[in-house]
Each structure stands twice: as C-alpha cells, then as structure tokens.
Amino acid sequence: MKKKTGLSALAEKRMISILNQQSQLVEAWEPFLTEVDSYMQDTRGRSLNIHEQRNVAQVLQNALDESGCRKSKLFEATQEDDINFLGIQLPVIAALLPTLVLNDIAIVQALDRRTASVFYFDVLYGSTKGAVTANDTMISSRTGHARSNTAQRRYAMAIVDGEAIDNTAAGTLEYAPGITLGTIVVKNSAGTIIGQDFDTTSFPSAANGTVTDSSGNTLMVVTAAGAYDSATYNANWPEGSNEDSTITYQYQYDLPTDAYGNYDGVPEVNFTVQQSNITAMDFPIKSKYSVGASIDLLKAHGINLESEVVKYLGNEVGNGLESLAIAA
C-alpha cells in the first residue's frame, strides 16, 4: 500500500471535513431541499443531484447568516411589522440556484464566505516550437484551449509552424536534425507564402531542400540537418533582406537534441495551479404589494402573489447573474 505524504494526507483530511460540513447543511435544510426537488421535477423533469443539493443548502445558510448580520428589509410597508428580507429571500434562492443555465455550461459552486480564492489548473506549453513560446497558456480553465494561430493547434504534431528565421545570415532551424525536405514553406510577415521546397520526389533522402519563389528563383537552401544559407537572400528575397519571415516544416521527432545531447523533439506540456481572488456581488431587487391586493388576487384568480413575486424576482436575478458570468 502506497503511503500518503504529509501534504496529501492533510489535503484529504481537509476535503473530508468540507464534505462533512456540506452533508450537515444538506440535512439541516432538508425541508427546503425537498420543496426545491419537487419544483425541479415539475419544471425540469429531474431531481436535484448531490452537487446541487450542497450548493442550495450552502447558499440558504449564507442568506440566513447574512440576514442576521445586516437586518435587511426587502419590502417597504406602511405597517409597523415590516416584512423581513429573509422571509422572501430564501424562496428566491431555493428556486433560482438549481435552475441557472450556468449549471449546464459551467461548474457552479456556492461559497461559504463573501471573499474567497479559486484554485484551478492551467496547462502551459513547455517548449518553444515555431510561433509557440514556452510557458504560454495552452489550455486555460478560464478561457479554454489556445487556438489563435495554427502553431498552437499543431503543437502535438511533428510539424513546426511559424518559426522565425534570420533573413540576413545563415542559421539552423530549431527542430533539427531530421528536417523532412520537400515540406518546407516560407511566409512573409503578412502570412503570405513566398517560397516552398517543391522537391517531393527525392525527400527525405535528398541532401538539401531548395526553397524557390513562384518565379523559380532560389530563396534559400536547407539541409536535412536543419542548416540554411543566406547567400541568395539579398538577390532574390521579394521584400528584401530585412523583411521578417517565418518557416514551416515537418521533422522526425526522435532526432532533434538539445545542447546537452538530450532528445527534445517531443514538445513538452507543463501544469501549474493558478489562484484567483473573488468577492461575492449583491443582486438587490425588491417589489411592493399590499396585503389586500394579495388576498384579492388569491380569491378572485387563485394566484398566490408571493409565489409569483418569488418567480419573477428569481428570474431577474438569474438573468443578471448568467449574463455577467458568460460575459466574463
């Protein structure tokens, strides 16, 4: 049996403690959760899952604690016994939280405090490969997969896309040796192809790959070892020798080595834990009605005014919350 390290054991203990607290909240708010579950079955055709139960219970507890601290009022009335905020707040939360569209497109988790930190994985490029720079974000928990250029989409391939080349001197390509001759494409700063190695009949055994422009002029010569010359730049390069250019090519991934002789033809991926501080935002909204109007509506039309108020206020809060989250 593998022995847990002190850090992993502490994290496991903390997680167990959190789950126990959430289970106690679910048990304490069971009457509300039962009503919410019935509402979900009637409107959505499904029951609350355990994650939703924990979220609703936590938010209800937050509302109870917050109301006790602030002594807030939702409704204004002419009577001395003003309607307390808590009386209407809990039904709004119970109806709102599990019906959010965010539950279907994101991970929604209730906090137990106003200010907290969110920890999440970020996946980083571990190697500089063409137009990709090491330590740039590859897959972000907040923004998704990086795909602004083809080099990012081709990172897990034996292709280098958009590697910068020196137009004024000889050099060596980054992922060399093992360049697959006949696959070389050169582009200018605007991304337009200005030269290609069209020799598809003799690669990869050919000694050199000759990159020519559309008129057949030789722009550069690349060896299978990745070395390229600069002898033809000044004479034939369309934009002149000072124009920034990039090169795309295929290579044999098990041949390139670093300065220490280690094989580095397979690009690396790194993982890091990031942290963001978040602060809860208030969504204040209120509605006014008289007790007489509530009674008349119930007697004349069979409509419970308080239930209708809860529904419409909850929808409005939900719309605001979802638009804010999606825009972020």
Predicted confidence (pLDDT) per residue in 89-140, tens digit: 777 777 777 778 787 777 788 888 888 888 888 899 999 999 999 999 999 8
- Residue 285 belongs to a domain: yes
Residue 252 sits in the same domain as residue 175: yes
Residue 312 sits in the same domain as residue 289: yes
Residue 78 sits in the same domain as residue 159: no
Residue 171 sits in the same domain as residue 254: yes
C-beta neighbour count of 216 within 10 angstroms? 8
Q: What is the pLDDT of residue 159?
A: 95
Report which of 85, 86, 36, 72 is spatially closest to residue 56, judged by C-alpha positions.
36
Q: What is the pLDDT of residue 270?
A: 93
217-to-122, 170, 197, 285 alpha-carbon distances in Å:
46, 18, 12, 72
- Residue 138 belongs to a domain: no
**Residues paired with 193 in a beta bridge:** 187
C-beta neighbour count of 8 within 10 angstroms? 10
- What pTM does this model have? 0.61
Could you report the per-residue pLDDT of 157-178, keeping only the tens digit for each?
999 999 998 777 788 999 988 8
Residue 107 sits in the same domain as residue 154: no
Could you report the per-residue pLDDT of 254-302, keeping only the tens digit for each?
998 888 888 889 999 999 888 888 888 888 888 888 888 888 888 889 8
Q: What is the mean pLDDT of the chain?
A: 81
State phi, psi for 182 to the nearest 5 degrees: 95, -5
For residue 115 the two structure tokens come to 């200010």
The residue range of the domain holding 38 is: 6-114+280-327
pLDDT beyond 60 at 31: yes
Residue 57 sits in the same domain as residue 165: no
Q: What is the pLDDT of residue 157?
A: 93
Give residue 310's Cα distance to chain centre. 33
- Residue 54 belongs to a domain: yes
Please, what is the end-to-end C-alpha distance for the chain in angstroms? 45
Residue 246 sits in the same domain as residue 155: yes
Residue 229 sits in the same domain as residue 204: yes
* pLDDT band for position 11 (cuts 50, 70, 90): low
Could you tell me the strand order of the sheet in which 245-251 lies? 159-165, 245-251, 179-188, 193-197, 208-212, 218-223, 227-228, 171-172
For residue 264 the two structure tokens come to 């580095």
* Residue that finishes a domain, picked among 242, 266, 290: 266
Give residue 135's Cα distance to chain centre. 16
| Contact indicator for 28, 46 with CB cutoff of 8 Å | no
Could you give the number of structural domains in the chain?
2
pLDDT beyond 70 at 236: no
| Contact indicator for 62, 112 with CB cutoff of 8 Å | yes
